[in-house]
Structures are given as structure tokens and as C-alpha cells.
């Protein structure tokens, strides 16, 4: 009896076809796995970027809120005193008392005249000692709290109409605050917060 009849040949061919099909399926599965892994890696990188941007935005908002709060505090203290003649005192979280002078004068303004010029070495000018402060924020806001940040706060008081010699009791108060010893206006740190308010007696 022959072992190489038509039936045996068909069985061999089917076996070869099944083996080829299985090998092909294995190859496709591996390619699909690689593609899926690549897509997952790309998505992960994108998510990491979004998380970084979210952290940066949160940090900027926190700094901006504190800067604005400090600028508002100076404006409120100026408004609560007899502006042009009196002084006020603001105490920071570390227990440091900062005198707020309301006499015309103070920190220099920028070229546009609409914000404080932080390039000025204001600490070197004795006449401006009460027109700036390094406000310390602690967590919690107590003397024994952990230092979180130091904010450079400066202000200017201008007598409106003084240039023309006309009598006036109206003042333009410009206050700017920024996080000290850090960059500003970038991804992680906001630009200085500035408030300009007209005040009078």
C-alpha cells in the first residue's frame, strides 16, 4: 500500500497552510502590539505635558493672587489713613512691621508711568525706606510658620495736579508687588501685580 497517495498529499498541504496561517497571525499580533505600545507612549507624553502645564498654571495663579492681595492691602492702608500726612503699619506673617508712608513720593515708576520700576535699588535710598517692604508669607501665617515666599512690594504716591500748581487733595497711588528673587512673566511665574487708585481726603 502506497504512503504517498492523494489523500496523504492533501493532508500535508493542509498542514502547511495551517502552519503558514498561524505564523502570519502571530506576526500581525506582534505588529499590533508594537503599534498599540507606540500610541500609548505618545498619549502618555501628551498627558505628562498637560500635567506640567497644569502645575505651572496653578503656581502662577497662586503667586498672582498673593501679589494682588498685597497690593490691595497697601491701597486699603493708604485709604484708611489721612493720605499725604499720616503713616500706617502692616505686619507680615513673620511678625515684621512695615511702615506705609502716604506722603507724596516713593518708588520710581517705569518709563510709561503706569507701574513700579523694580530695577531701582530702592533699599539704597533712605528717603524711600517707608515706600517698600519685603513681605514674608509663612505656612501657617504665624511667626513659627514655615517660610513660603518673600514678596517685594513697592508703592508711589503722587499729588494729582501738582505739576500745574493747582491746589488739590487728590492722590494717585500706584502699588506693585512681585515674588522676590524669581523670574516673572513666564510659564511658572506671573508678572508683577499693579494697582493704580485715585484717593483723597
pLDDT for the residue numbered 14: 58
CB 138 within 8 A of CB 145: yes
pLDDT for the residue numbered 62: 84
Q: Would you list the domain boundaries of the chain?
A: 50-200
Is pLDDT above 60 for 21?
A: no
Q: What band does 17 get if pLDDT is binned at 50, 70 and 90?
A: low
- Pull the grid cell for residue 113: 508711568
Q: What band does 123 get if pLDDT is binned at 50, 70 and 90?
A: very high
Contacts of 92 (CB under 8 A, 6+ apart): 98, 133, 135, 136, 137
For 185: left if phi > 0, alpha if psi spans -120 to 50, otherwise beta; the answer is left
Q: 179-192 burial string, b = 16+ CB within 10 Å, else e?
A: beeeeeeeeebbeb
What pLDDT digit, counting tens, does each position of 70-114 carry?
999 999 988 888 776 788 999 999 999 999 998 889 999 999 999
CB 148 within 8 A of CB 137: yes
Amino acid at each position: 500500500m502506497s504512503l504517498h497517495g492523494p489523500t496523504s498529499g492533501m493532508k500535508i498541504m493542509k498542514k502547511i497552510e495551517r502552519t503558514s496561517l498561524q505564523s502570519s497571525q502571530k506576526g500581525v499580533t506582534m505588529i499590533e502590539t508594537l503599534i498599540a505600545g507606540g500610541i500609548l507612549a505618545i498619549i502618555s507624553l501628551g498627558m505628562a505635558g498637560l500635567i506640567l502645564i497644569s502645575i505651572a498654571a496653578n503656581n502662577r495663579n497662586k503667586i498672582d493672587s498673593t501679589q494682588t492681595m498685597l497690593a490691595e492691602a497697601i491701597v486699603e492702608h493708604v485709604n484708611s489713613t489721612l493720605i499725604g500726612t499720616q503713616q500706617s503699619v502692616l505686619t507680615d506673617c513673620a511678625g515684621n512691621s512695615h511702615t506705609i508712608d502716604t506722603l507724596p513720593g516713593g518708588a520710581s515708576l517705569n518709563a510709561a508711568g503706569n507701574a513700579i520700576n523694580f530695577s531701582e535699588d530702592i533699599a539704597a535710598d533712605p528717603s524711600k525706606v517707608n515706600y517698600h517692604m519685603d513681605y514674608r508669607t509663612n505656612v501657617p501665617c504665624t511667626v513659627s510658620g514655615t517660610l513660603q515666599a518673600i514678596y517685594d512690594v513697592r508703592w508711589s504716591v503722587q499729588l494729582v495736579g501738582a505739576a500745574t500748581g493747582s491746589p488739590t487733595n487728590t492722590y494717585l497711588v500706584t502699588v506693585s508687588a512681585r515674588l522676590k528673587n524669581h523670574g516673572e512673566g513666564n510659564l511658572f511665574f506671573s508678572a508683577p501685580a499693579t494697582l493704580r487708585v485715585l484717593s483723597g481726603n
